[in-house]
Structure 1
């Protein structure tokens, strides 16, 4: 069926939603009837395959075979077999997901189905915890949603829905949903695990316990604490902190339940960025190699010899901020959930208030070159370099020397973002009812969603010259001109960026109201349905920044070291121009809808088709751009307020005798307003993508195999700011992603591997320089000497692969010096777990 025919068909059958959960009961009754008949005739009744109930992004929990959606689920126990990985690394191994990890614990990049990664975070997929968003917008500058999420034993399951009804059962989620579902104490018992890095420095304690407080009351409490240098050489304890989560559930027999959630997160972890790499060969077949003295997989520019971050703070007062802050996420949340049956309706209420904040620092590159060329670039012919920190402080660096084996110096900008408040409140109330009709069952759902999201952040920067030295020994470097006059101050090139760019303060508040509803009709083997959602947003606040079209405002001179002399570096001091605020004052509204049909051809096999239109409200990516009128705060064009995503999808699902196979073909079009990370380059584009998602499992005795593959062919169909990019492939978009997870379990001994392969993609939208394909392998070996004791050996990136996720250059650099970000190198850890 071609795309037009599918669109017309979907439009005729109504608006969205998967098949009815109630058909589970019918199928159970039918199975029972068949079993009774078989027993009466003396025949052995066939065993029905177990149902896979999926609840994220749908009206009610339902068997995946009865749902006109593309979904995946991963059990918490399966996640933990492969060690205490970041959420990004966990989701890399889920079918249909495209994840650029390696940045750190958080701020990784997530998308699906060729939806663009023009900047970072998770723009089109909303991340949830227990059915409510962690942040209303998943791609806020420098503070992605995953900085407030952790992978630990409290996770019972991760569910993902790609496309489908996600856009109508949640706001700002046209691409899909990622939902971390917590354990709630329905399984009594506890777990304590101690783990340690065997070839890297990290000590970690995990725990979880669930049990009863009475006949109708249960609870679950869990969390972790860790400390250590982490998977890369940084010279200090970059990982330190943890979280605690608690929930208590009170059940009311035959009526419903009430549940309360508490969470406290206070955790630090480094942020890794593109680092120097040797790029040679041709654009189409480049070779990426680590320079001597700096391993792209294991090293970082972070070091105890760098910093502090000397800059003017959010009040324009001189400050020295700790360089080792990294991603310091602090979150305190209180959640409430209730479900009751009232007069034939099932009413579900979910609410959460979260106090989110913290400081977030990262260092990202600007330029790098040989000692002589780098010095000349900053201070002219005859310029010289010398160490400004570390054990060689004051020592000259000869122009032609191969310091650290590579002879390189670099200018890095250090971003220090203070999240004064990312607080949010979310409430989702819905009611569903099943109506018995002569020909089948009609399920209706109505709901209302209300949310607030604060965006109160301040961007502070400094700039420093450093050498390219690994093993946590990076040091700061001074540059002097031919006359011996320092162009830097103790290694600082400027106290901001090289200009006043990105010295910003956001004080903006978002309000979202979204009524929604769905109608689903199930008759025989067919289920059709539709859902609608209308998002209404109110955006108010102000911006302070030097880059609001006001010229050189925001740059000044200041005697930073209080010596009575203004040095060259001290003429480059960025400040916040509080006397020139810009207003933010606009409203938005848009309709989301989805329509689907599911046909249960036979017990183990179903087919489905769906059409969806969803949108994502543009948050901070349109602020500090010409889209917002600085005087009135208005946004004149509705097209700039939200980016639409249209999806046509169809496929089949098969589940029988230990084998499952799901396949979905998709056609996607999307809008994107964005700003490239680390630059002022805006994007205003439309995209299209076509592809196929494949997912399957095989269970045979002690052997289990999970397979996944995604094929995507994407194009920039229109670039309104740079027409030369129209028709190009989006950067970082591999044609194929393959996932293989084989496991064997003999009871006393279990082992497995997680293999992820990405084919090549372009480094930039100009489609010149390629990033090569790569494969990473994770593995585990688990021994169970007793029923309660488990000993586990884990390896991440077992074969120490250099897997390139990001390259700053668009072509082979003339001097062979580029910047790239790789997956972390091999790390091996051991764990002892006790269940009780």
Structure 2
């Protein structure tokens, strides 16, 4: 009851503030002259008059589109200085992500209170210029935030939530996040050198574009990055480069064009898997969270010079040494766009992209465990009697700390995630007396390869943030049970997770959209018929055998056990209907209902859902597609306020979905290794808010997402609070011109409480940032950005409880990076 009262009060406060923000400008407008309003109109057009190109009818502005859409430009992102790719998404209402996984990716990206039951982005698709980078957002060890990088080539990031996201593309019933390139419409560019102050990180961003002739535009941009990162690892973990280019040739009518695009990327970035912390624990609530002595997750990580490379047993059964390289990607993408406007208001659009892509996930996972839980336990057929440092300055000495890290060193070799995608649409507009009626039909095709082999070593290491050493275990006779901290090859999570697979998924989808538009209202509906064909093979782990390393027998598992051969097809339908009412040119109301589906890809393998003939059994058919039902109603408004202008959006939401998926982590499976099937229903109500305001030299933009998300587990009749979803998540950013050539700004990002999968509640927190830019001349600019200005220990990502018997207790989780200062110099031309 108390929780419900708090949530109701929070909703009322949000709606009351929204009403004030929307109504106050109505009063202020009455005293303004028509000339002033006209001048401000030209300014505010920069906001809601942006043409929406993602998940929407072509040619509509934001205020005319009956969808929840947000556009975040490159300047806003630069000022916010996100610490990871996913933290950019916190600037989009409705997207709920901790943003603490680091620049490599591997974030869990939720949307509108629809939790991530296992990992990745099951309901969110990341696109580049309107096409998916990968078909599935939650591929095991291959989440969609690995493969896209924000750089100088990007003009803006556009986010569409709900509704048409499920019918204008595949596998995205929750949201589409589209990175839209700069195409050279404005002549010029820049080179920017950024350097960490107090941490080792160097980056060069560059872009240039313009007209090659009266009918040809071009643009090229990218970045190079190198360093140890803000959480000093002792060795280079950031070694990345990306370049993107495009060339656009306009035809004689000046609106039709053909465009060619290319991207080359070779990236290596760290994936931060958490840090220990101290916390008071009372009634399943953590409070007074602070850094663990010797391991401050704001400044340190589990990366170490004593664990910067390690042995694995590869898929051929040979010992191989791999680098602790975090998340690496290699990609070459070649794309083409064709836009032709024919007579009789017929338009053809075709987008195609071929991508060769591969990578790896190599990271030191972290879990704080008591040392006493290892001493006396059975490891490799013997009782552990002693633990000693395996390397580092204390090599050979007894390890006497109360806690250690008993989680895996994991190396996943992502051999192939290449794809080919093509999206063809033809639209026709009919004009009637009171408006226009448009018909848009299309056909989507995408083939997605997923080939990988997993190597999850059972590993022990020191719980420290200062280059932690590996730990070796010994029996009571002094016999070594481990080899440089490794107690097992490929067997940390059991035979489920010594995997080797080579899969192919082909997604075809015809779709149809109808739209009727008048000066007063619009009504639209769209439907999409998905068919996904699955093929390929997968192996689980087989019987263990010993590999001798330095005279020590280490149990080893290879992916030569049960085989699954895939040969099945699944079809399903997504739909949406919506409408928008134009109260006037500055105010619109919209509503929408939708049902969108997403196919469960590689997360369904090695989970008992494939028959011997390659077809899906009953459990597989039930789990093949997850459907999301969503209902929303929203208000969009812009106007003048005092001597400035504002834009404001609020969307009220309700949604639900049912998910059946395979989970490999013991944390999500009640502490049992070997994987489990998670069956649950979820529902959520909430609101999204986005507002911008400008008064002369001051500007501000903010967003908030409120969610009351609940979960119903299989076999239960009681709805409980969904884990990983804060009731409220928000960002706010403001800038002010102190001088004509000096702008300063501040921002805040925060969230209310959230719980983990065990029901433990983590406190609310917020972090502040600051930025300044000084323009010395028209071509030269100096900048300073500060992330986490107050150095707040903000534990956003939920973790695990190491020992509830002591207070303060030790927990593990994912804190935000601490105070990080970056200076930059930009040369414009």
The two structures have a TM-score, normalised by structure 2, of 0.89
Q: 1:826 to 1:91 in 2, by over 3 A?
A: same
Q: 233-242 vs 634-643, which deviates more?
A: 634-643
> 1:14 corresponds to which residue?
none
> 2:330 corresponds to which residue?
330
> 2:651 corresponds to which residue?
664
- Which whole-Å CA distance do the structure 1 matches of 2:805 and 2:127 have between them? 45
CA drift at 1:78: 2.3
> 1:522 corresponds to which residue?
517
Q: Secondary structure of the equivalent of 1:808? A: strand
Deviations 1:64-103 (A, max 9, x none): 1111111111111222234474321221222222112111
CA drift at 1:285: 4.2
Equivalence map 1:525-540=2 (5 Å): 525-540=520-535
Equivalence map 1:440-589=2 (5 Å): 440-471=435-466, 473-498=467-492, 499-546=494-541, 553-561=542-550, 563=551, 567=552, 569-570=553-554, 572-577=555-560, 580-589=562-571
CA drift at 1:367: 5.4
- 1:286 matched to 2:287: yes
> 1:389 corresponds to which residue?
391
Q: 352-361 vs 283-292, which deviates more?
A: 283-292
Would the aligned equivalents of 2:802 and 2:811 in 1 still touch at CA under 8 Å?
no
Deviations 1:721-760 (A, max 9, x none): x537x41111111111122111113430111122111000
CA RMSD of aligned residues (A): 2.1
> 1:374 corresponds to which residue?
374
- Which whole-Å CA distance do the structure 2 matches of 1:641 and 1:300 have between them? 37
Would the aligned equivalents of 1:118 and 1:675 in 2 still touch at CA under 8 Å?
no
> 2:430 corresponds to which residue?
435
- Which whole-Å CA distance do the structure 1 matches of 2:677 and 2:607 have between them? 8
> 2:706 corresponds to which residue?
711
Q: 1:626 to 1:789 in 2, by over 3 A?
A: same
CA drift at 1:378: 5.1
- 1:674 matched to 2:656: no
Equivalence map 1:221-240=2 (5 Å): 221-240=220-239
Would the aligned equivalents of 1:93 and 1:754 in 2 still touch at CA under 8 Å?
no
Would the aligned equivalents of 2:306 and 2:468 in 1 still touch at CA under 8 Å?
yes
CA drift at 1:421: 0.5
Across the two proteins, how many residue pairs are aligned to each other? 768
Q: 486-495 vs 801-810, which deviates more?
A: 801-810
CA drift at 1:343: 3.3
- Which whole-Å CA distance do the structure 2 matches of 1:44 and 1:412 have between them? 62
Equivalence map 1:170-319=2 (5 Å): 170-254=169-253, 255-282=255-282, 283-306=284-307, 308-319=309-320
- 1:342 matched to 2:342: yes
CA drift at 1:338: 1.1
Would the aligned equivalents of 1:168 and 1:531 in 2 still touch at CA under 8 Å?
yes
Unaligned runs of 5+ in 2: 1-33, 667-674
CA drift at 1:620: 1.6
Equivalence map 1:106-145=2 (5 Å): 106-145=105-144
> 1:20 corresponds to which residue?
none
> 1:650 corresponds to which residue?
633
Q: 1:622 to 1:62 in 2, by over 3 A?
A: same
Deviations 1:173-202 (A, max 9, x none): 101100000001111112001111002110
> 2:58 corresponds to which residue?
60
CA drift at 1:408: 2.9
Q: Secondary structure of the equivalent of 1:77? A: helix
Q: 1:557 to 1:307 in 2, by over 3 A?
A: farther
CA drift at 1:788: 1.1
Would the aligned equivalents of 1:606 and 1:652 in 2 still touch at CA under 8 Å?
yes
Q: 358-367 vs 61-70, which deviates more?
A: 358-367
CA drift at 1:366: 4.8
The two structures have a TM-score, normalised by structure 1, of 0.89
* Equivalent in 368, 392, 415 of residue 410 of structure 2: 415
- Which whole-Å CA distance do the structure 1 matches of 2:512 and 2:569 have between them? 23
Would the aligned equivalents of 1:635 and 1:641 in 2 still touch at CA under 8 Å?
no
Would the aligned equivalents of 2:83 and 2:102 in 1 still touch at CA under 8 Å?
no
Would the aligned equivalents of 1:807 and 1:818 in 2 still touch at CA under 8 Å?
no
- Which whole-Å CA distance do the structure 1 matches of 2:109 and 2:533 have between them? 26
Q: Secondary structure of the equivalent of 2:305? A: coil
* Equivalent in 776, 782, 785 of residue 785 of structure 1: 776
- 1:600 matched to 2:600: no
> 2:19 corresponds to which residue?
none
Q: 1:707 to 1:47 in 2, by over 3 A?
A: closer
Q: 1:707 to 1:701 in 2, by over 3 A?
A: same
- Which whole-Å CA distance do the structure 1 matches of 2:694 and 2:167 have between them? 35
- 1:830 matched to 2:815: no
* Equivalent in 717, 729, 732 of residue 721 of structure 2: 729
CA drift at 1:154: 0.7
- 1:817 matched to 2:799: no
- Which whole-Å CA distance do the structure 1 matches of 2:513 and 2:118 have between them? 33
Would the aligned equivalents of 2:162 and 2:630 in 1 still touch at CA under 8 Å?
yes
Would the aligned equivalents of 1:374 and 1:410 in 2 still touch at CA under 8 Å?
no
Q: Secondary structure of the equivalent of 1:621? A: helix
CA drift at 1:147: 0.9
- Which whole-Å CA distance do the structure 2 matches of 1:535 and 1:347 have between them? 22
- Which whole-Å CA distance do the structure 2 matches of 1:444 and 1:170 have between them? 17
- Which whole-Å CA distance do the structure 2 matches of 1:378 and 1:234 have between them? 32
Deviations 1:305-334 (A, max 9, x none): 1153322112222212122x2101111100
CA drift at 1:521: 1.1
Q: 1:235 to 1:464 in 2, by over 3 A?
A: same
Would the aligned equivalents of 2:281 and 2:804 in 1 still touch at CA under 8 Å?
no
- Which whole-Å CA distance do the structure 2 matches of 1:327 and 1:660 have between them? 39
Q: Secondary structure of the equivalent of 2:377? A: helix
Q: Secondary structure of the equivalent of 1:169? A: coil
Q: Secondary structure of the equivalent of 2:721? A: coil
- Which whole-Å CA distance do the structure 2 matches of 1:824 and 1:753 have between them? 17
Deviations 1:437-489 (A, max 9, x none): 12321111111101100011111121221112223x21111111222121212
- Which whole-Å CA distance do the structure 1 matches of 2:326 and 2:596 have between them? 35
Q: Secondary structure of the equivalent of 1:279? A: strand
Would the aligned equivalents of 2:539 and 2:606 in 1 still touch at CA under 8 Å?
no
* Equivalent in 591, 597, 617 of residue 573 of structure 2: 591
Q: Secondary structure of the equivalent of 2:86? A: helix
Q: Secondary structure of the equivalent of 1:683? A: strand
Q: 1:625 to 1:352 in 2, by over 3 A?
A: same
- Which whole-Å CA distance do the structure 1 matches of 2:702 and 2:240 have between them? 35
Deviations 1:651-710 (A, max 9, x none): 111011211111111110112223446331331222110011111111111111112222
Q: Secondary structure of the equivalent of 1:100? A: coil
Unaligned runs of 5+ in 1: 1-37, 547-552
- Which whole-Å CA distance do the structure 2 matches of 1:300 and 1:652 have between them? 44
Q: 1:377 to 1:599 in 2, by over 3 A?
A: same
- Which whole-Å CA distance do the structure 2 matches of 1:287 and 1:629 have between them? 51
Would the aligned equivalents of 1:70 and 1:163 in 2 still touch at CA under 8 Å?
yes
Q: Secondary structure of the equivalent of 2:549? A: coil
Q: Secondary structure of the equivalent of 1:732? A: coil
